[in-house]
A = this chain, B = another copy of it.
Amino acid sequence: MSEDRVIRLLASGGHSRSDVVLGIGDDGAVLAPPPGRQLVSVLDTLNEGVHFPPGMDAAAVGHRALAVNLSDLAAMGAEPAWASLSLSLPETDSKWVESFAAGFHGLADQWDVSLVGGDTVRGPLSVSVHLVGFVDPGAALTRSGALEGDLVYVTGWPGEAMAGLRVLESGGSISSPRLERRFVRPDPRVGEGLALRGLATAAIDLSDGLGTDLQRLAVASGVRISIRVEDLPVSREIADIFGAASALELTICGGDDYELAFTVPPQQEDRLLRLAEHWSCDLTRIGRAEAGEGLAFTREGQAYPVDMSRAWRHFGEQT
């Protein structure tokens, strides 16, 4: 199958937004940005054997490649709009590409995202997605706005995605459709991120794990983030399958969750909780921003040591 045919396969099935002046098929796409708004731009790559297990279902690869980028837009409070896709394939198999496209477009349609362009090349299986979203000027959520006294919240059940990967890698000896789905088909918290505009002081998505990502938020904001271990949402499903100690470790150190962690001033908590009644995911208060720096864990008022070296990291080295 030629590059042109792969591109036609990917282009078909997607829907087109009215602000796409010229979509797939030329040297570039032509896009009309909404007057008076700012753009949020994100780009993330998934490599087979690094970010997902070899042989993972093509539809799941397509879904996931878009989901991780939607999650970055969610953390910025941006409305998704335009996607570009670069797909490296060792060989082309039209069934694989069709299934990949179905996974990608299924999620794209849900969030009104148009695939506007990209590239297909030969190489080890790898997917790069660039995504553009819109925000009002000054309204983007960032990592750097947390203030002393703010409350720290997290959506969903961090750690379930990494536990899902272990389930997947067990080759059938462990069964948990819930955990597996959390790795294979993450639900990016786009609606929740949009709801947090004008409410959260800082936000980040948990791509590298709750500990690593909250540490980044603390550093960017110039505060200390203090987490109460007893308040962490530890998944009962993980605990039942892998035991309580593993469950806590996965909650703190597991990556690939694509949940949101964010800070809100205490006086906004009621408003947040009213909004969250309509969310499709759980929401848990896990700590507070304080004077100081870095990330600290406490349990029953005592410092609680966490071995962050077990956190998931690219290149597997200490920062």
Contact: B124 with A72, CB < 8 Å?
no
Instruction: Determine the chain B residues whose CB is within 8 A of the CB of A50 once the complex forms.
Output: 121-123
- Which residues of the other chain, B, contact A315 by a CB distance below 8 angstroms? 1-3, 6, 89, 91-92, 122
Give chain A interface residues in 2-61, CB to chain B under 8 Å.
Answer: 2-6, 21-22, 25-33, 35-36, 38-47, 49-51
A85 adjacent to chain B (CB < 8 Å): yes
> A130-B84, A220-B25 in contact; A317/B38 too (CB < 8 A)?
no
* Docked CA distance A196–B6 (Å): 31
Alpha-carbon gap, A121 to B44, bound state (A)? 9
Residues in chain B near residue A41, CB distance under 8 A = 28-29, 31, 82, 84, 116-117, 130, 132
**In contact, A123 and B126 (Cβ under 8 angstroms):** yes
Residue of B whose beta carbon sits closest to that of A142: B26
CB-CB nearest in chain B for A118? B43
Q: Does A78 contact B (CB under 8 A)?
A: yes
Instruction: Determine which of B2, B29, B35, B116 lies in contact with A35 in the assembled complex, contact meaning CB atoms within 8 Å.
Output: B35
Distance A175 CA – B176 CA, assembled complex (angstroms) = 61
Contact across chains for B2 and A318 when beta carbons are under 8 A apart: yes
Q: Are A39's CB and B31's CB within 8 A?
A: yes
**A77 shortest CB reach to chain B, Å:** 10
Q: Which residues of B contact A216 (CB under 8 A)?
A: 4
In the assembly, what is the distance between CA of A45 and CA of B89, in Å? 12
Chain B nearest Cβ from A261, distance in angstroms: 11
CB–CB A119/B45 < 8 A: yes
Whether A76 is near chain B, meaning CB under 8 Å from some CB there, is: yes
Cα of A88 to Cα of B127 in the assembled complex, Å: 11
Kindly report which residue of chain B lies nearest to residue A82, judged by CB atoms: B41
Contact of A30 (CB < 8 Å), options: B25, B86, B140: B140
Among residues of B, the one whose C-beta sits closest to the C-beta of A85 is: B43
* Residues of chain B contacted by A210 (CB below 8 angstroms): none
**Chain B residues, CB < 8 A from A2:** 313-315, 317-319
A interface residues, Cβ below 8 angstroms from B? 1-6, 21-22, 25-33, 35-36, 38-47, 49-51, 72-73, 75-76, 78, 82, 84-86, 88-89, 91-92, 116-124, 126, 128, 130, 132-133, 135, 137, 140, 142-144, 203-205, 216, 220, 313-319
The 28 listed contacts between A and B (C-beta, < 8 Å) are: A2-B315, A21-B137, A21-B140, A22-B142, A26-B143, A27-B76, A27-B143, A27-B205, A28-B41, A28-B72, A28-B73, A28-B133, A30-B40, A30-B76, A31-B41, A32-B38, A33-B33, A42-B84, A43-B119, A44-B86, A44-B119, A46-B121, A47-B88, A50-B121, A50-B123, A88-B126, A122-B316, A123-B126
